[in-house]
Amino acid sequence: MDPFTIAVLVTAGLLAGFLNTLAGGGSVLTIPALEYATGSPGLANATNRVALLLQNIVAVRAFQKGGALPKGIAVRCAIPAVFGGILGAWIATVLPPQAMRTALAVAVVLVALTTVLRTPKTPRLGARGAHVAFFFVGIYMGFLQAGAGFALLACLVGGLSLDLVRANAAKVFIVLVTTVGALFVFGLKGQVRLLPGLVCAAGNMTGAFLGTRVALVKGAAWIRPVIVLAAIIAVVKLLAFPSG
């Protein structure tokens, strides 16, 4: 792997880890970077889970040490998300490359619209509604992941009434365990490229550590601007630097 590719992967991972920990949307940076390194959007989508796994291990540990992780809620929400994630990952393994590129482009637009435009408030979720909601978000996480953090925050903040700091802590835990299941499916299909994933993960982990520091020290007031920043980066990436 040449130095330029390493620099691209680490830089994309650093930005993505920071954005993912505080909001979401970081995968719209790492997937194109990994596509450059692997030559395939399908391989990039699968390999991205290596970086996400290590990123969220760092983030969960930091939130846990900071006393912000609502363990009970996080575990209950993660269970249906894991099953959805396995299904979503399987769907991703059977799609042709052009379909994955189209799906990524659509995801980026939806990420931007969801965060920039005024969206309806998420209704209060009961136990059954939460299981259904996190199962379907899990399907998307397994399938593509890009922007899933925004959907998780909508469910955790609007649906379950968590504040943004505790919601972000629960979010990274849910993403972590869902990524384990998805990565297992992608690994069985031979779609994971370990070296690019680990290089990208070095940036993701650093960004995740910085993101948790900001969340724990600065609180919710600093999280909302980062959500908007994530949307702006997603739009710029889509319009100025389209993949494929």
**What is the model's pLDDT at position 35?**
86
Tokens of 122: 């998420």
CA distance to 27, 71, 175, 232, per residue, from 19 (Å): 9, 22, 14, 12
The number of beta carbons lying within 10 Å of the beta carbon of residue 94 is 9
**What is the model's pLDDT at position 244?**
47
Picking from 57, 25, 242, 17, the residue whose alpha carbon sits closest to that of residue 146 is: 25
Contacts of 11 (CB under 8 A, 6+ apart): 33, 203
Count CA within 13 A, CB hemisphere, residue 88: 31
Picking from 43, 71, 11, the residue whose alpha carbon sits closest to that of residue 243 is: 43
**What is the model's pLDDT at position 223?**
58
pLDDT in tens, 86-125: 999 999 888 887 777 777 767 766 766 665 555 556 667 7
CA distance to 153, 166, 215, 241, per residue, from 170 (Å): 9, 6, 13, 32
CB-count burial class (<10 Å; 0-12, 13-18, 19+) for 25: buried
Spans in the chain with pLDDT lower than 70? 105, 108-109, 111-123, 218-244
**What is the model's pLDDT at position 91?**
92
**What is the model's pLDDT at position 142?**
93
